[in-house]
Each structure stands twice: as C-alpha cells, then as structure tokens.
Amino acid sequence: MKKKNVMISKLMLGAAGLALAACGGSSSSTPPPSTTTPPPPVAKSGTVTGSISGFGSVIVNGDRYATNGASFDIDGKTGSQSDLKVGQIVTMKTSTDAQGNKSASSVSFKDAVQGEITAISLTPKRITVMGQNVVIRGSTSFDDDIDPNDINGLTVGDIVQVSGQFNGSGNIVASQIEFADAADAFELTGNVSALDPVAMTFKIRGLDVDYSGATLEDFDGADIANGDLVEVKGDSFDGSGAFLALSVEKEDKEDDGEDGEDGEVEGFITEFTSAQSFTVGDTPVITDESTVFEYCTADDLGVDVEVEVEGEFNAEGALVADKVECEFDADIHVESTLDAVDAGTGVITIFGVEFATDMSTRFEDKLETPVEMFGIDDLVAGNYLDVKGFERADGTLYAKKIERDEAEDEDEIQDYVDSVDPMAKSLVLLGVTVLTDERTEYEGADDMPLTGDEFFSMVMPEDLVKAEGTKTEAGELLASEIEFETPDDE
C-alpha cells in the first residue's frame, strides 16, 4: 500500500504542475520534443578463429553464431554447414548486433595437412603425415569411420585429413582427424623457405617440395618468394622423398582483422617476446594493464601455451587483448555411466565426480543413431560417457570433450595420483579409491608388463595413471588393469 500511495502522490503532483504551467503560474518552459531520429546501432564486425564445439548454427570459442545466409568455403570449394565436423578449426567473418546476437557471414575450413600416414607412435601419441609431426591429444576428435575411435584406429598407409594448429615447436596439434579419399590430392599449407628458383624447389616445415611440374595459382604473375603462404597439392614423391607438387596456390591470411574490428583467436603461442607481446599461430597479440587473464596469470604465458584471446585489432593488425584465457589438454579421463546431469548449471556427475561444462565443451554422439545437434540437453542419467577434461586453477574439473557411446564392459579413470597405499596395493584417482587383486595386470609407460610389487614400488603421487575395471557398490574401482601414462605434451 505504501508503494501505491507514493505513486498516487507523484501523479497528483504531476497534474498540479501541468495545471500551473497552463495558467502561467511558472516561468519555466518545456522544450519541444526532438524531431531527430537517432541512428540505429551499428553491428560490430569481427574475425574469429577456433574449433567447432557444436552445431545448431555453429558454436566456436564458446559462442553461437547464426549461419543463415553465410557462405561456406570447405578447403577451397563451395560447401555447406553439413560439411563441417565437431573439432575442426574454422575462420569466420562475423557480426554482433546491439543486442549481442552473433552471426557469421562466411565460414572457412582448411585442413592443416592431408596425406598418407608414414609413421605412428603410441608413446607419446604421434603420427607422421607429409613429413609433419602430428600430435594426438586427449581432446583430439576422431571421425566415426575410425574404429576404434582413437589413435589405435589408424594404421600406416591410411590417407587422413588433419585439422589442427601449429605450435611453437612446429608440430601440428590435431584437433580433428578423419579418413580422406585415396583419390584426393595430398596437400599441405605453410610458408615457403629455402627457395631454389633454379632447381624449382623449396621447403615447408622440413618437407622438400619440387614444383617444377606445378601450376602456380593466385600469384598474379609474380614469382614464388620465401615467406609466401602457399598450399601445395600433389599425389606422389620422388626417390629422394621430395613431394612432387602439381599445384602451388598462394594463400591469403584469413584471420587478419581490420583496424577496430573485434577479434578472437584460439591456438598456441608460437612466438613469445613477453607477456605484453606474443604471437598466437601467426596473429600478433598485445596485452596491457586492462587485459583480464582467466585460469592463469601473465606469468604462465610462454611458447606452446594454449590460449584463447579476445580483443580488437589495431591498425598494425595486432590483436589488442581484452581477455586471455589459458587452456589445457584433457589429461583427465573418465569412462562410465552418467550419474546425474544439471543442464541449468552445466554440471555433470560421473563415477561420483563432478565436471563443469560450457559452450566450449565438445559434445559428440557416437551412438548408432546419433543426435545431429548433440548437447548437454540430450544427456540422461545412465548414458555411457567418455569424459575428457582437466583441472582449472580454482580446483574445478572442466570437461573439454564429452562423447556418448554404447556401454562398455568396464569403466576407466585416468588422473594424476592423489595418494598411494603400497601395503594395500591401492591408490586414489579423482577421489576414487582404486582397488587391486591377484587378477590385476600392470604396465609401465612403455606398455611393458610389471608385477604389482614393481608397480607399487614405482608409483608416486602426481604420476599420471590409468585404471580400468568395474565399479563396486561402494563406488570404488576394482582394477583389472593399471598402467602409467605419458602426459600429452606437444
């Protein structure tokens, strides 16, 4: 009632004021209303590079971009959104309106390398394609045709397409891998070095390229020069191992931004001068006292650190960072049935362990009849999940990738050891007690077998260990196998 009386009093005072003005009781005058219509808010353009975490439009770097009317360039050919896969790296020209709605006018995908696998290493997980060292991480996505759906589904001689980003060591860190048609050309994109115009050869990251029989595209009459960004395509190598290019196409740097344009880039620090000046991929980044750091500090930055940077491009093409978010690979794995899901908070519980999710979490449905636009809303308790994540600086466990699949016979936990009880031959991973018995098998990081006594004489807190087995009624894991793992360092 009090609030209502106040409103009535204000109305009465307003009416009295109007009456006085009408009778000339006030010398003040009310200015006439403006007839000028303010201009409509202008949408802010941007350039965004990052991995796809989901669809329903396209979700990149934690934001959803409407793609109605967008053009799609799929490795130099006109395509559509249906040609894209979760995990692939794309570059988009975007627009954000006054209400914060985001849309993409163009979406471009280009693989990092496509060709034949010539070598595979399981420890650490690496493959070699076109002479390039490709790093496989816990967060790497594998297309459904690869079975099993990890590095063990690949063999030497397979033709693959790798989407990924180069780190400061010159390795391709794979974000997504799929089989390629054997009839498709081998291809690699990179900067020209060691150019010999007489022999008509050059190098791309150590790969010798012979372009004597190649067609040059988009050079506008100019010659190839050291430093040019090019894509080479062909289908064979000569006896010395040089790639015989059938075409050399000069490429534009797609993630260049215009002065004053918004920018987002996800990738690895490839050059580091200081925390105020470094390069992500080939995008120069500048920070200042107003830059906000998430899940790390400026002191944590350096070559090969994975980051997502948001800011605005300046006239020199550098991205002036408003925010730098540090990212980490998914060394923590849990495979088990889902206990609970809270789509409102984005928290899932699996094997009694809570993981946070957000729009950057990759959701992949590996069921026989998958949901195309799969997300947290599609999860239900009892689903069998493979969750890969890491622990943030605040202690929160974050799920970087979640796969739903058919149920397995055993569960799995991988984490850095919390504690060890050598006498009981047990240890704790992610707060879960891992039990052993006379049937448990043990392996070293080199996959060589160990005895239980050998394993427990070696294992220490903070060692990375994977345990497979069955969940007990008490919520423990009775291990059938325990092994040391190697962190996925680049």
Q: Assign domain 113-179 to its CATH architecture.
A: Beta Barrel (2.40)
* Mean pLDDT within 394-402: 95
Q: Could you report the per-residue pLDDT of 224-279, keeping only the tens digit for each? A: 999 999 999 999 999 999 999 999 999 887 667 889 999 999 999 999 999 999 99
* pLDDT confidence bin for 5, thresholds 50/70/90: very low
Q: Which residue has the tokens 């009778």?
A: 23
DSSP-assigned states of every residue in 266-317: EEEEEEEEETTEEEETTEEEE--TT-EEESS-GGG--TT-EEEEEEEE-TTS
The CA distance from 446 to 435, in Å, is 23
Q: CA 252, CA 229: separation in Å to the nearest integer?
A: 7
3-state SS class at 454: helix
Q: What is the mean pLDDT of residues 285-298?
A: 96
Query: Which of 297, 307, 327 shows the shortest CA–CA distance to 264?
Result: 307
Check if the beta carbon of residue 230 is closer than 8 Å to that of residue 276.
no
Average pLDDT over residues 150-163: 97
DSSP bridge partners of 479: 469
Supply the DSSP string of 210-227, one letter for each residue: E-TTPEEES-TTPPP-TT
CA distance linking residue 74 with residue 49, whole number of Å: 15
Q: Are the C-beta atoms of 314 and 258 separated by less than 8 Å?
A: no
Q: What is the pTM of this model?
A: 0.86
Closest C-alpha to 252, from 267, 234, 274, 230: 230
Q: Rg of the Cα trace of the chain?
A: 28
State yes or no: cis peptide before 148, omega within 30 of 0.
yes
3-state secondary structure of 388: strand
DSSP-based three-state secondary structure for 205: coil
485 φ, ψ (degrees, to nearest 5): -120, 155
Architecture of domain 186-250: Beta Barrel (2.40)
| CATH 2.40.50.320 domain span(s) along the chain | 113-179, 332-405, 411-484
* Pairwise pLDDT comparison (251 vs 42), residue with the higher score: 251
Give the span between the Cα atoms of 354 and 342, in whole angstroms: 10
**For residues 283-296, average pLDDT:** 96
Cβ-contact 93, 106 below 8 angstroms: yes
Residue 369, C-beta contacts closer than 8 angstroms, at least 6 positions apart: none
How many residues are listed for the chain in this entry? 490
- pLDDT at position 446: 86
Place of tokens 């004053």: 260
The verdict on domain 411-484 having CATH code 2.40.50.320 is yes
pLDDT at position 76 is 87
Contacts of 421 by beta carbon, 8 Å cutoff, 6+ apart: 427
Confidence of residue 7 (pLDDT cuts 50, 70, 90): very low
Query: What is the mean pLDDT of the segment spanning 335-348?
Result: 98
- Classify domain 332-405 at the CATH topology level: OB fold (Dihydrolipoamide Acetyltransferase, E2P) (2.40.50)
Architecture of domain 262-327: Beta Barrel (2.40)
Q: Do 97 and 105 touch, CB atoms closer than 8 A?
A: no
Classify the C-alpha dihedral 415-418-421-424 as positive or negative: negative
More confident call, 376 vs 251: 376
**pLDDT tens digits, 84-128:** 999 999 999 999 999 999 999 999 999 999 999 999 999 889 999
Q: CATH fold of 44-109, please?
A: OB fold (Dihydrolipoamide Acetyltransferase, E2P) (2.40.50)
d(Cα 205, Cα 168) in Å, to the nearest integer?
A: 12
